[in-house]
Amino acid sequence: MKPDKRDWAVLALTLLVCLPFIAGCGDKGSANIKQPDPEREVAVAPARKGNLAEILSLTGTLMAAQEVKITSKIPGRVDKVLVEEGTPVKAGDVLIKLEQRELLLAVKQAEAAVATAEAGLAKVLAGTRKEKIDQAEAALAQAKANVDICKISFERMNNLLKDRSIPRTKYDEAKARYDAALAQYKSAQAQLEMAKTGATREDIDIARAQVGQAGAALATARRQYQNATITSPIHGVVAHKNVEPGEVVSPPMMPGKALLDLVDMRYLKTMVNISENRVNAVRLGQEAIITLDGFPGEIFPGKVSKISPVVDPRSRTFKAEIMIKNPENRLKPGMFARVKLVLNKQMDIVKVPLEAVTEREGGKIVFLALNGNAKAQPVTLGISDGVYVEVISGVNAGENVIVEGNLGLEDGDRIVLKASRKSK
């Protein structure tokens, strides 16, 4: 008997229900066949022996190593300005001259005063001339003769007074003449003694003090005269000019007032900030490598010249000064500087590219490329220059380390090399 339409519908429904189970049985069978792991494409570089320097990278701005503001020590009118902005100068070069006529007159007056005081001292020290002594001796002899005459007259008047042959007034007159002659005689003796003895210690001290006073006045006048010529205290370049001939200048009343600004361009410096955890590795005289955007590909050597002894409480860093030679004045203040400090140097060590190192639980590892497989190798690391890192243990020179494709790599993974890189 032929199946009717109802039988065909039941058969079709049965097939629809069984198809998923049949398909599932087929997939289960194929899943039991293990597929090989895919190969990871990686790049390697050999570990090499060589030298390595630990580098600390910093930034700063170039500034003049020394800047001097030129002012006048004395008031006066500007006679000449001998430099312009940009003029190179050496220490001792004349920059500005003030009017000097009145100052020169003061010097000449002071010189004359010194000459007068020195002559007075010489006279005191030389003592009395022989002519003066001879005159004093003659005056003493004359006074002695006068005393003798007056004495004889007085004695005669005294005898006559006793005999009452003369009035009392005649006696008094003779006595007065005798007393005056004695006083004159004593004065002549004193004058002769002084002439023979010379000046007293007090006279000499006074004369010497007068010479010293006159000398000090002369030194002041000469210094004022010298200060009218303003010279450069440094080797450098005129950065700013703030004065013209004819202007009246005076010593500055407030900081920053200047006639000229000079900068020493033989050296430049830059200030950098060093973190607390690295400052102990920085020392005075330490080598620095400076690069500037304005001089691509060039390296300028420098040295650490100062290290602040205290930390900046806001940034928690220490300021350090880097001094840079600038013999040809190529470098200019204000340029942005990239500074690399060489903290440590290691010679003849094993080093690998820094990107070969990955962090895993338990420490740092590198992956070695061995026979088409990646081998996870724990390592002990030393210093780094930001490109290469020292391997103290774990890798030998000549072994290939994976430098690309190591992210997510596991120990034993299959690898295929896409390129090799040479380490320096």
Residue of 197, 193, 209 whose CA lies nearest to 127:
197
What pLDDT band is residue 26 in, cutting at 50, 70 and 90? very low
By residue range, what is the domain housing residue 81? 72-98+228-257
Choose the weakest-confidence range: 16-20, 89-93, 202-206, 207-211.
16-20
Mean pLDDT value of segment 234-240: 90
Choose the weakest-confidence range: 8-17, 68-77, 366-375.
8-17
Residue 9 within any structural domain of the chain: no
**Same structural domain for residues 270 and 343?**
yes
**Same structural domain for residues 238 and 264?**
no
Q: Is the pLDDT at 400 greater than 90, yes or no?
A: yes
Q: How many CA atoms lie within 13 A of 113 on its CB side?
A: 18
Residue-wise pLDDT tens digits, 162-220? 877 788 888 888 888 888 888 888 887 777 776 666 667 787 788 889 989 999 999 99
Residue 19 within any structural domain of the chain: no
Residue-wise pLDDT tens digits, 109-159? 999 999 998 888 887 776 656 677 778 778 888 888 888 888 888 888 888
**Same structural domain for residues 318 and 245?**
no
**Same structural domain for residues 145 and 203?**
yes
Residue of 282, 286, 270 whose CA lies nearest to 309:
282
* CB proximity list for 186: less than 8 A, separation 6 or greater: none
**Same structural domain for residues 240 and 359?**
no
Domain count, the chain: 3
CATH code assigned at 242: 2.40.50.100
Residue 22 within any structural domain of the chain: no
**Same structural domain for residues 41 and 115?**
no
**Same structural domain for residues 325 and 179?**
no
**Same structural domain for residues 52 and 76?**
no
244, with CB counted inside 10 A (0-12, 13-18, 19+), is exposed
**Same structural domain for residues 386 and 284?**
yes
**Same structural domain for residues 270 and 398?**
yes
CATH code assigned at 302: 2.40.30.170
pLDDT at residue 335 in the model: 93
Distance of CA 222 to the CA centre of its chain: 32
Residue 1 within any structural domain of the chain: no
pLDDT at residue 202 in the model: 81
Mean pLDDT value of segment 372-390: 92
Higher pLDDT, 21 or 190: 190
**Same structural domain for residues 89 and 162?**
no
Residue 192 within any structural domain of the chain: yes
Residue of 234, 266, 268, 243 whose CA lies nearest to 98:
243
Q: Which helix (H) or strand (E) holds 183?
A: helix 168-197
pTM assigned to the model: 0.55
pLDDT at residue 393 in the model: 94
CATH code assigned at 134: 1.10.287.470
DSSP character for 164? T
Residue 29 within any structural domain of the chain: no
**Same structural domain for residues 135 and 265?**
no
